[in-house]
Structure 1
Amino acid sequence: MTLSTPLLAAAPLLAGLIGPALLGGAPGRQQADQPAPRAVRTEIVEHVAARTADEQRRVLDYWTPERMAKALPISLLDIVTDGAGLLSDLTGRTGVRAAPDLSGGRVSPHASREALNLGPSGPRRHQAAARPQTNTAGSRWMTGGAVARTTGRVFLTVSGADFVCSASTVRSANRDVVITAGHCVKDGAGEWAANWTFVPGYGTGGLRPYGQYAARRMFVAGPWSRSGDDNYDVGMVALATSGGRHVADVVGTQEIAFNTARGGQAFGFGYPADPPYDGSHLVYCAGRMKADPYGESRDQGLACDMTAGSSGGPWMTTFDPASGRGTITSLSSFKYSDDHRTMYGPYFGDTVKTLFDTVEHA
């Protein structure tokens, strides 16, 4: 059996990849060579979050600057809760879900069960170049542009604990859609996240230059909801308006595409919160994507040092560093415990397209 840890914001103990986020999970061994029945591929599961104006206000009021500051990357979700959920089956399961903001890190058959610390080795600091690099495992994004507005931090609560993840706005019919990791929305077969809030362009000291948006409705694919299948670790959320304005009208959006050619150049973005990062800056990785060398998923890998808290951050192809615009074709999901330098993201196929077609009309 293999173990995997999502990129939630988890303590350095297990998956300190992405930051306090939801329990994202790694499922048991994936049968990537056998396509799922069509009924399974197109099944979409929905959760109504904050429907009324009063409920949305309650969510926004919940996230005080103090609570946001304390929603740090944590270790396994079952360490801060009662042990239930995706992380409770650490022994004998193919995958381990990390806390909200899942920085999924799974243990491959070639890795020791003890090698679960997904955090980077050493307090390295990444200095951004004068212009964006097309090949970097982790640098602070200093160029601005659309991506600095469309990417943001997600704050959520699971089993009474507060976590963080990353997400991006997407061009949609309702102008309300953001995309993130499935484990940043729902704990696999477990519970949905509560108090779900998106803060685009999050800045140092809890700066919220474009406001914050509560979730109205949340969606994941059936395989993620049933078993935390890493191949479907994608969550999409329809946000409520803020001050009567849709998020797309305030910060803009990125394009999204499905069934694209595998491989190629990609830029990945997120707000890693485990050391040497602190969640206050937008960070990016850039390079060529490659197939999962262990064959445990249909995901693609990208050389990336980002830690917990970056879960759900967008991966863009045909990205223009000058304008900060591109096309989202994947997102940060998990890392293998014996390879801290590679982040993996799900392939956006027919199921993710169906997911998007559903949420953009929600």
Structure 2
Amino acid sequence: MLMGGVPAQAESPGAGASADPTDNGGSQAFAAQAEIARVLAYWTPERMAAAVPADVPTTSGKAPISLRQVPEDKQVGRVDGAEPRGGVPMMAADIHSMSGRVFYTGDQGGNFSCSGSTVNSNGKRLVFTAGHCVHGGGAGRGWHTNWVFVPAYHAGSPYGTWTAYQLWTKNGWINSADRAYDVAAAVMNPLNGVRIVDAVGGQGIKWGIGYGQTIYQFGYPAHAPYNGSQLYYCSGATWNEGGFPTISCSMTGGASGGPWLESYGQQFWAYLYSVNSWQFWNPDPSHVYKWQGPYFSYDTAGSLFDLVKDM
């Protein structure tokens, strides 16, 4: 394996054929006030600080997509981002308010952390992340619990802790832990009567736009030498490696689920292009040199977004 990589930097500067919606699987819904209160009480500052980076996928599936620059069916989709309508002044809405740290209890026990980002939709309630940040993936595995999203995390957040109403990912991840489907959406409960995108803003999303895009990759790395306390980024052009968008970056575990943003810096929001899924290191997990993410075709991200956009 190659050594080295692109250093992660603190903070930010300034497909295939259509799938039937049944290719998505969802968890039980949690909206009762008692359940929400229990989850919020569970995530004390001490538990958040002690959460370990999410386990990365252990099964490498083959991407069932065209390796051409444009998916064979040319099914391209785009949804623009949105500014907040309440809770965050417009001048304060940026990559920090729309990015956050994810905390959950794993399906086999233990408390873990990932990363994620808000995404605009009709329902204004979505957080996108990696599939392995919501479900264990593969035979005998299940949904994670006590799932929360903390925007602009830094030993807490000025925007509060948000609980998940329902978790969704692709059946390709649920049944086979196939990395091509390692993408997920969490529908969030309102906080103090406000929907999360209305509170902090939401990124746009694109699918079917091909490889070779210049992107900014964000996350909260929590494995050494990082500690999960700060948002980091890498930037560069993606390339196609075995059907997966790939980028050089040294962020470590805990960054899983963080956004890959295309057109970043052109307005206060950008377009979600993929999410952090799989890392490569040498000689150990503290020396990461590149990441891969699932290719956003309609089969992966587009059909998932369509299913949850009105929730």
> Counterpart of 2:275?
331
Where has structure 1 moved over 4 Å in runs of 4 or more? 35-39
Q: CA deviation at 1:222?
A: 1.3
> Counterpart of 1:252?
201
> Counterpart of 1:304?
249
Instruction: Verify the 8 A CA contact 2:256 2:276 in the aligned structure 1.
Output: yes
Which of 22, 45, 50 is the matching residue for 2:25? Answer: 45
Instruction: Verify the 8 A CA contact 1:267 1:319 in the aligned structure 2.
Output: yes
Specify whether residues 238 and 299 from structure 1 end up closer, same or farther in structure 2 by C-alpha distance, changes over 3 A only.
Answer: same
**AA partner of residue 305 (structure 1):** S
Which of 194, 198, 216 is the matching residue for 2:145? Answer: 194
Distance 2:50 2:253 in 1: 14
**AA partner of residue 271 (structure 1):** Y
Specify whether residues 145 and 286 from structure 1 end up closer, same or farther in structure 2 by C-alpha distance, changes over 3 A only.
Answer: farther
Specify whether residues 278 and 337 from structure 1 end up closer, same or farther in structure 2 by C-alpha distance, changes over 3 A only.
Answer: closer
Distance 1:187 1:327 in 2: 27
Distance 2:258 2:52 in 1: 17
Which of 265, 269, 276 is the matching residue for 1:320? Answer: 265
Q: Which runs of 5+ in 1 are unaligned?
A: 1-31, 78-85, 88-92, 96-143
SS in structure 2 at match of 1:319: coil
Q: CA deviation at 1:278?
A: 0.9
Alignment of 1:213-252 (within 5 A): 213-252=162-201
> Counterpart of 2:104?
156
Matched positions, count: 260
Q: RMSD of aligned C-alpha atoms?
A: 2.3
Distance 2:22 2:246 in 1: 25
Q: CA deviation at 1:340?
A: 3.0
Specify whether residues 37 and 357 from structure 1 end up closer, same or farther in structure 2 by C-alpha distance, changes over 3 A only.
Answer: closer
**AA partner of residue 157 (structure 1):** T
SS in structure 1 at match of 2:207: coil
**AA partner of residue 279 (structure 2):** K
Which of 347, 354, 361 is the matching residue for 2:295? Answer: 347
Specify whether residues 94 and 240 from structure 1 end up closer, same or farther in structure 2 by C-alpha distance, changes over 3 A only.
Answer: closer
Deviation track 1:105-124 (CA, whole Å, cap 9, x = no partner) reads xxxxxxxxxxxxxxxxxxxx
**1:146 matched to 2:94:** yes
Specify whether residues 269 and 324 from structure 1 end up closer, same or farther in structure 2 by C-alpha distance, changes over 3 A only.
Answer: farther
Specify whether residues 319 and 42 from structure 1 end up closer, same or farther in structure 2 by C-alpha distance, changes over 3 A only.
Answer: farther
Specify whether residues 50 and 303 from structure 1 end up closer, same or farther in structure 2 by C-alpha distance, changes over 3 A only.
Answer: same
Specify whether residues 354 and 69 from structure 1 end up closer, same or farther in structure 2 by C-alpha distance, changes over 3 A only.
Answer: same
Distance 2:22 2:213 in 1: 27
**AA partner of residue 164 (structure 1):** S
Q: Which runs of 5+ in 2 are unaligned?
A: 1-14, 62-91
Instruction: Verify the 8 A CA contact 2:52 2:222 in the aligned structure 1.
Output: yes
**AA partner of residue 317 (structure 1):** E
Q: CA deviation at 1:49?
A: 4.1
Instruction: Verify the 8 A CA contact 2:19 2:303 in the aligned structure 1.
Output: no
Q: CA deviation at 1:73?
A: 2.8
Instruction: Verify the 8 A CA contact 1:238 1:360 in the aligned structure 2.
Output: no
> Counterpart of 2:83?
none
Distance 1:94 1:258 in 2: 22
**AA partner of residue 64 (structure 1):** T
Specify whether residues 263 and 42 from structure 1 end up closer, same or farther in structure 2 by C-alpha distance, changes over 3 A only.
Answer: farther
**AA partner of residue 234 (structure 2):** C
TM-score by length of structure 1 reads 0.67
> Counterpart of 2:7?
none
Identity among equivalent pairs (%): 37
**AA partner of residue 147 (structure 2):** W
Distance 1:301 1:145 in 2: 28
Q: CA deviation at 1:291?
A: 0.9
SS in structure 2 at match of 1:276: coil
**AA partner of residue 55 (structure 1):** E
Distance 1:94 1:179 in 2: 21
> Counterpart of 2:219?
270
Q: CA deviation at 1:48?
A: 1.8
Deviation track 1:207-253 (CA, whole Å, cap 9, x = no partner) reads 21101111001111111111111001001010001111111111101
Instruction: Verify the 8 A CA contact 1:42 1:354 in the aligned structure 2.
Output: no
TM-score by length of structure 2 reads 0.78
Distance 1:37 1:263 in 2: 22
**1:64 matched to 2:8:** no
Distance 1:94 1:202 in 2: 31
Q: CA deviation at 1:42?
A: 5.7
Q: CA deviation at 1:261?
A: 2.6
SS in structure 2 at match of 1:50: coil
